[in-house]
Structure 1
Amino acid sequence: MAEKYQTREERRKQQEAVKNKKGKGKKKKRSIFKKIILSLFLICVVVFLAGVGTFAYYASKAPHLNKTQLKDPIASEVLAMDGKSAGTIGAKKRDYIAYDKIPDKVKDAIIATEDSRFFKHHGIDPIRLGGAVIANVTRGFGSEGASTITQQVVKMSFLTNKKTLERKAQEAWLSLQLERQYTKEEIFEMYVNKIYMSAGIHGIQTASKYYYGKTLDKLTLPQIALIAGLQQSPNNYNPFEHPDLAEKRKNVVLGLMYQHKKISKEEMEAAKKVPVTKGLKKQTNVNNVAQNKYDAFMDMVIDEVEAMGYNPFSDGLKIYTTLDTDAQEYTEQILNSNDIVQYPDDMFQAGITLLDTKTGEIRAVGGARNPKVQRGLNRAVDIKRSPGSTIKPILDYGPVIEEKQWSTYHQIVDEPYNYEGTSVKLNNFDNRFLGPMSMREALYRSRNVPAAKAWAEVGPNKAKEFANNLGLGLKDSELVPSSAIGGGLELSPLKMAGAYAAFGNNGIYNKPHTVRKIVLQDGETIVKTNPEPKVAMKDYTAYMITDMLKDVLSSKPGATGRSAIIPGLEVAGKTGTTNFSDDDVAKYNIPAGASPDSWFAGYTTNYTAAIWTGYDSSKDENGNFKYYLTPNEQKISQLIFKNLIEHVSEGKNTPDFKMPKSVVKIPIEKGTNPPQKASEYTPSGSISYELFVRGHNEPSQVSHRYEQLEAPTNLNGTYDQATNQIIVNWNHPKISEGVSFEISGSLNNEGKQSYGNTKDTTLSIANPQPGGTYQIEVKAILGDQTSKSATITIKVPDPDELGNGDDNGDNGDQDQDNGEHNGSDNGNGPGNGNGPGNGNGSGNDNGGGNQENPDPGSGTETP
């Protein structure tokens, strides 16, 4: 094939064209790159200007520096649910220390820990910010903070802990202003006297005396390190409460002091070997007395506000709470006196949580009997004790209704039983087994074996899920087969109250809380806390558990909560006790029936309360076994509940629990299994009204166990003027079989009353009401069979309505219920009453003309 020929000139032009094309491409790329650079520059300028403008705007809204606020923390005001003041939270006592009185080692420790370049920057330290990021990566989170001491003074005095752009801008601006108006020494002095040091105290000198019982100049190096490190997280590093965390924090501070050449390596290592608890004094209240009214409730308020990121001791907040001061004062009266409930001794303790059933708002808290220190052990919140049988609705019966739709009549056999998957035998509190029974009866009698069987039916995973939907926060490691009756679990009255309230609130769980909202120091910023309601279970589960728990507070045989019954109130609840180990019973010769803990948790549609009672320890200070609850003392938790709920419910409308459409109520004949409906002949004593989940296992078959029993026959009645009494008699074909009769009656068609039961066939009613009309009903009973009623109506004459001589013998016209009178009335003569009246019916009419002879009445029988 011939090659294509190009001249030299053609090749040159072609090469120039390619070169020009490449050049244009490069020029185009350079042009685009220049445009991108210019755009980025313009964007940076705009962002910078916007940032400057935003910073200027936020800075213009910053509060003014105020000397008083810089020097002193501002207490927070607490308001009750009615808006009235309930007290304040804030340190009243501080040991103020001037800069020149602070030991150098203390200054070195604080500066090395909090702001190593404090004396070099002007309020904001970019180098410290970058160093803090590196330190937290290399030495662990919390090794070094980014805020300067100046910034922290500003934040504690004027701002909140909220991490917003506005707050950070104002903090930076005010820090620059603070550095202009005050010396470094003055700012450092403000800082060390203002910082919060846990336990409601402020300032390093106060902390030194509180933790070690001496002034700063007497502290050792390890003690100085602890004091210097507290401020970052005072409650977590409190050596009384968290010695392990305090130990780690102390060592971090010592490492920082060494890093910044404030101590030698030898000093650091020697100090690290000294336990943080060495030299600690005995924990007491700052002023050795409780400072706040309603201390247990305030304790919870403090914790909630701190969890929100604010310091109630120094931020000058207005804290709007859920507190019912009347309920709180009554709770404290119950605990701190014997006026309402009698206690065996002063060592006996209790914890109480009272909630609003519908909202989870905490109305009152009982943290201790006769508390000695502020913010001491709050037994409503802090204790961790086995809940005993109060856990059964939560881990056993609630889950099995939720998952398996068991009815309240579901039959469970109370019999010898081993925990699921083990060879460990389970027993009941009375060491007896009662055989087949309904779930309802098993719960109100608090039988252990049926509860464990329900747990096994639903499984631990579903049980845990159900419980955690109610706020219990259980872990897999906590659940063991004995958890079905409270074994292995440690809970507080606060958690139990929150869980039980959901049963009374149609299955809706609200996290228990004391704070509704807080208003910040500026008086404008409002922070609301409304917890979100959570659907924890089906409404049928909540109602069916509630209906069964109402029987716990009843007169039914075996009901365990009788001491908590409140007349006139519909209340549901559950008892709970715990046991000593078999080893302890044998070792210490513990009496039969003794218990370390007693619980009661219950609710109305308005209020829920959970009460724990017992002793902090069963042993005295010498290790001798001494303290336990006798069977009578185990009822104290019920009595506390009864009196508290009765008090707060006084004058309030408390409606009954409303049955949802998902539940049906059916009269079941006792003893049938599977359940059968009661027939029209089933005796009332053999009928149990049970609840079923609509569409699940509802019985359709009617029991034919009972046949109709014949009604009484030949029922007659007459008024005997001579004895002034009504005489009624009847007959029955099964007299020889031991039939008995239930007799009732009414006067003038008003309220029915009982005349009792008898095996006789005669009834006498003495001194009947003149002119009254009596209706008498007689019903036959034989074993479990009951007949329909036979009735008779008897009119008692009224002497005031009778005449003297105008009687034509009408009294001979007497009507018996069988209507078989063949006699005629022969009462002739005006008023002489001589007619014999020999009616040939089933009853003889002996009426004469005498007006005092009454109408014997007419009898009717209902077959």
Structure 2
Amino acid sequence: MRIYSADGKLISQFGEKRRIPVRYDDVPSQLVNAILATEDARFFEHKGVDPIGVIRAAVVLITTGRKAQGASTITMQVARNFFLTREKTYIRKVKEIFLALKIEQLLTKEQILELYLNRSFLGNRAYGVGAAAQVYYGKEVGELDLAQMAMIAGLPQAPSAANPIRNPERAMKRRNVVLSRMLEVGAISQEEFELARLEPVSARYHGAEIELSAPYVAEMARDFMVQRYGEEEAYTGGYKVYTTITSEAQTMARQAVKENLYAYDRRHGYRGPIASLWQMPEPNAQPGAETDPARAVAPAEDPTWTREQMLERLASVTPVEDLEPAVVTGVEEKQAWVFTRDGQHRLIPWEGLNWAREFISDTRQGPAINSAGEVLSRGDLIWVRQVEESLMLAQVPEVSSALVAMRPDNGAIQALVGGYDFRNNQYNRVTQAKRQLGSNIKPFIYSAALEHGYTLATLVNNAPINQWDRSQGTAWRPKNSPDVYTGPTRVRKGLGQSVNVMAVRTLRHVGIDGAIDQLVKFGFNRDDLPRNESLALGSAVATPMEVVRGFATFANGGFKVDPYVIERVDSALDQVLYQAQPRLACDECLKALAQPSQPEENSLAAVCPIPQEQLAPIILSPQVAFLIKDTLRSVVWGGGDWSQGTGWNGTAWRAAQLIKRRDIGGKTGTTNESRDTWFSGFGPGIVATAWVGFDDHSRELGRTAWDNYGPRGQITGAESGAKTAGPAWNQFMYHYLQGVPSESRTPPEGVVTARIDLATGKLSRRNDYSSMFEYFIAGTEPTEYAESQQSEQPVFEQETEELF
């Protein structure tokens, strides 16, 4: 079974048998000649049974008493391979003969030979010449040279004993026998024979030529196939499974997750080497070497550990993703020398070391380092990774992450990264990790409020809440972060800045039952939603897959699409056995729904170009979906006029700085004590969710202090959705949206604009910084004008975070 991306890149393969079917016309004539010369020189002359071969076998049996000559033609071997066993009995031979005669009546010689070429076991789980060419030589069958073809042609009789990997000497003898037979029948010249006979054995094991790293997707596909076909059939049926993953998006997502985890790990400090192999006094550094890498010279071999010992130790450490083990062999003032697995001495410059202040705890780091010797010693076994042209000191991240991106119009998953390293941990955090949502939940709460009388200009009191809980005997005091309160504030700004107390008051307006019903419509599990006011602040749990599905509804105009990752399943003969039938969003339906007559869903058939059974359910009006989507743009871009003192940042302002597109939007999310951080949002044709946290729910993501050697615009303070998960989303979207046309902000029918006063949310007659145009569902726009014009004061001038 082979798993592919949507664009045909091999992701993984599973099973007991490896087959790469080839057509007869695609097999080189010399390989056919080698097979025939060795197995059945009279193949094109006999009718399935070769009388001469039978007589020869009989003579051997009579004279020796041994069944050494089987007299099996290629047709008889096809009969045995498909229908019989390999036991040497007379009754099996009789059956073999009759089956061969029948096969010759039904198939042409070329068809029979094609079956033989694809069915024969050739060792190392390779069945057929296509698989053997890949397993032994890493080539397509048409790329083999004469010696390699002869090697493969010699395998059917003894695929294990004459295996060129396990027994190269015997394999070479068998290969040369094949070459001799080819020379005898005139298939090759004497010169070709001599050249091929002198070729060394070049075979070595080649695993699957994986072209795209998506191991969590491969495991999802494997599970789908086992559930559908059963384990044995799934592994041995030769199925080709095509996923919805695109190779470019998957590569971008994987890189974004890794880079973000490395950045988090660096700012929290260095946890030390893997091991200390030896300790020796430092030799005198060469003059100028610490300041001029071009003059640096690799240290001499250490007398304590030989080159061979270091290579052996390094070979025992399995690389992790793009991290490689290395041994420190020299430490100078501002650089260090390491010995790597390929037997080279490599230099780690100061830029690759200076981040490594001491990790004390998740919330504390040591002071910035001033020399390499504060971090490394000779004999340290460490991790390094290649960054552009040089090495960097590294460590395996302990923190976890996930990222999933999908098309909002049909739910096709474009990229999925379930964790940092699948080989060490197969836990798929996209589909299996239920984590608290934090403020990622707020757009769903506000969508319910817009259906219950709120507008984006509605004022909600941004004031402290102090509610006595008689059952607990304590007061519940949800706080904003930062702990600032500005009085009545518009809904757009409250969601854009993720104001906690406003979200609680909005929940009270909707009612807990109403909010839970709304969340269930988006696909969240009712059992995961607490029946208390902490729901407004994200105490509910959900997987990243559930979250990205919910945000897709805002992006597509109100449809609930279901994520899917299996596009189709083909048989070994390229017959389509399964084709996904996703439920689709429909722009024409949205236009019809937006008309004043408001047609019922079941009457959309007249305008919908999509068959009704393929139409995704509509769970949100296009008007409400547009209003939330537009407000999520404010989370990125903020609002107001900074020059006039009315400007404000949304919590995701970093996305605006990097991506620089006005057609993106999203929502940050941070839970209590920064145990879970989120960023979910959309761009043209894509919606994505990123999550960062520890698998250990009790461990906090912590905080970091300023680092003298940190990057420009370094992240400090408490970890949060904007600072911890946001950068992965930002990087993915930045690369994904390159070359994607901008998406216009066109409101649906039924949405109007009105100029409002920033301070009161009422209509404004002024055309200056104290007012703005706001979107409203027709009929909900304000009818009163503001009596006095007063400026809206900025509250969060630098940065905001959200906690509950």
Q: TM-score, normalised by structure 2?
A: 0.48
Q: TM-score, normalised by structure 1?
A: 0.45
Larger relative contact order, structure 1 or 2 (CA cutoff 8 Å, min sep 6): 2
